[in-house]
Amino acid sequence: MTEIVGRLAPSPTGALHVGHARSFLLAWWHARSRGGRVVLRIEDLDRERVKPGATDLVLRDLEWLGLDWDGPMLRQSEDEEPLRAAVAELLERGSVYPCFCTRREIALSAPHVTDGEVRYPGTCRGRFASAADGERELGRAPGLRLAVEPGELALEDGFVGPFTSDVEREVGDFQVQRRDGALAYQLAVVVHDARQGVTEVLRGRDLLSSSARQWLLQEHLGLPHPTWYHVPVVVDEGGARLAKRRGDATLVELRERRVDPRALVAWVARSSGVNAPDRIGARDALEGFRLDAVPKEDVVFGARERAALG
Ligand code: GLU
């Protein structure tokens, strides 16, 4: 039997909220309840968005929730070597091409927006004979984009079921390296998931649209495809997804209010089909957890739920 390896992959870009807590608990329960391991990765590559001190806060949040992990945690920013090697491999295979476009140019030239993402219209594909030619002509350094073939991919999600995605139509050729040299999330996720031996990725449904890009990169790099489980997200009373930038229901705030973490874990457990008492530890909910009992709808965490935590 192959070993089950799940993962927690927080981004230290601000305080985690109840939505993150739910996804992390579900990922941990799903792996651990089947005898699997859980690894931790801190997704801190995006220097523009990483907040100082946020990694320590995230670690405290995980501990507060009663979650643990196996082996050393991986900080993406300290493990860029394999990412650079993957980029070199993509270059060598001719899978990526240099792109000189600025964000502004792309926004101006691309009217197509899917899920808040601007489709890249392919401006730089085949534009210059070499990256050096482009740099000479435009006087700036390029990023790199994966050349995406048109067509629909039929993929499978362990929670959502079968789904299709046409990456070329939805987002077009996508970045694997930014113009400032920073490595893109899509590339980092697939390389580091493989490096950490991850066999299953359970995360919020908002990331479902990234999966096809990640599947393509795995194909190009000859990496295994983990099983995905994209679970419903936590929304407020108005149906809006909780967001870091709005400072929604952060775990720091709950800790400061001296909320018992077992009350939050109990709320997550009950909203996930576990028959739990008012307070329960993460480990104690393992026995009653089954992913197929998790409802398919988004869950509301509003003023009422917040007050009920005590
Ligand atoms: N680090 C990402 C986030 O916190 C999750 C990435 C992933 O699960 O693939 O939104």
Q: Euclidean distance between the first and final Cα of the chain, in Å?
A: 44
Q: Match domain 5-77+187-308 to its CATH number in 3.90.1200.10, 3.30.499.10, 3.40.50.620, 2.60.40.1840.
A: 3.40.50.620
Domain with CATH 3.40.50.620 in the chain: 5-77+187-308
Which tens digit of pLDDT belongs to each residue from 135-178? Answer: 999 999 999 999 999 999 999 999 999 999 999 999 999 999 99
Q: What pLDDT is recorded for position 113? A: 65
Low-confidence ranges of the chain (pLDDT < 50): none
Q: What pLDDT is recorded for position 106? A: 87
Q: What pLDDT is recorded for position 114? A: 63
In the reported structure, the alpha carbon of residue 230 is separated from the centroid of ligand 1 by a whole-number distance in angstroms of 11
Rounded to two decimals, what is the model's pTM?
0.95
**Which CB contacts under 8 angstroms, 24+ apart, belong to 224-227?**
224/194, 224/199, 226/193, 226/198, 226/199, 226/200, 226/201, 227/158, 227/199, 227/200, 227/201
203 lines ligand 1 (CB under 6 A): yes
CB 61, CB 251: distance < 8 Å:
yes
Q: Which two tokens stand for residue 149?
A: 């073939």
CB 10, CB 16: distance < 8 Å:
yes
Q: What pLDDT is recorded for position 116? A: 67
Domain with CATH 3.90.800.10 in the chain: 81-186
| Closest atom, ligand 1, to C-alpha of 10 | 4
CB 157, CB 214: distance < 8 Å:
no
Q: What pLDDT is recorded for position 277? A: 96
CB 211, CB 185: distance < 8 Å:
no
Atom 7 of ligand 1: nearest residue by CA position: 9
| Closest atom, ligand 1, to C-alpha of 7 | 8
CB 175, CB 184: distance < 8 Å:
yes
207 lines ligand 1 (CB under 6 A): yes
In the reported structure, the alpha carbon of residue 137 is separated from the centroid of ligand 1 by a whole-number distance in angstroms of 37
Domain topology for 81-186: Glutamyl-tRNA Synthetase; domain 3 (3.90.800)
DSSP β-ladder status, 37-42 and 74-75: parallel
What whole-number distance in Å separates Cα of residue 140 and Cα of residue 20?
A: 38
Q: What pLDDT is recorded for position 110? A: 66
Q: What pLDDT is recorded for position 123? A: 94
